[in-house]
Amino acid sequence: MGRLDNKVAIITGAASGMGLAAVQLFAKEGAKVVATDIAVEQLEKAISTLEGDIITFALDVSSEQQWKDVSEQAKVEFGKIDILINNAGVSVHKGLLDEDLEGWNRAINLNLTSVFLGMKTVIPYMQQNNKGSIVNCVSLAAIIGSADNGAAAYSAAKGGVRALSKHAAINYAKDNIRVNSIYPGAILTGAAQKYGVTSAEQLGNAFKNTIPLPPHAGEAIDIANGYLYLASDESKFVTGEELIIDGGWSTH
């Protein structure tokens, strides 16, 4: 028995990092997975190496029509939608005075509007089942001002996701739809690897004075495990909650 047997999950930002780790883990635990990303060639290549019931779709998370297309295809292929993991996001490190309106709007669209569109599109499918679990990836930047590495628009967007998640949790509990959030700390992902960081230990060297728990940085699977718990029926009495996975960063 898998922890997600007979469940259908849509996962965004699935071509690498935390999203890809979630796809692999969810499929291993018995879910039928709809893996999505705007980088569709990278997505298909990554998914081709995995085992399980997985289908891939191109998805620009800022496009309402693409959200509708993916959700309808998920229903056609698998008959329902049980789980939505809003994992996709992007950060541009520009401070408030350095950011321009174009960059601000892009960050809001990709990090906040995307979550709005995902929930707006998928919740009606969950209402048909009278059950569902939504997990939104937020950020410590929504809680700690110094955690955004100077990314003003990203920080604002993630703060919006935090509030929107609470709104959805209280308003759709009556439909047995749970909405929870994950707050990653310093995690080794593809974004970090682009800068030559190849291990959690190496990344952790930069956070020894910030994150108390060795190796002072986490891996994508640490976040995927959090997604799994909140997506599964093990958390059936949990909604509106914030699961912080940061090695103790936020304890300061």
Catalytic residues: 154
> Pairing mode, if any, of strands 32-37 and 8-11?
parallel
Q: CA 210 to CA 143: how far, in whole Å?
A: 15
- Buried/exposed code over 97-116 (b: 16+ C-beta within 10 A; e: otherwise): eebeeeebebbbbbbbbbbb
The answer to whether 84 touches 61, Cβ cutoff 8 Å, is no
For residue 137, the one-letter residue type is C
Neighbours of 236 (CB within 10 A): 11
**Size (the chain), residues:** 252
Q: CA 160 to CA 116: how far, in whole Å?
A: 10
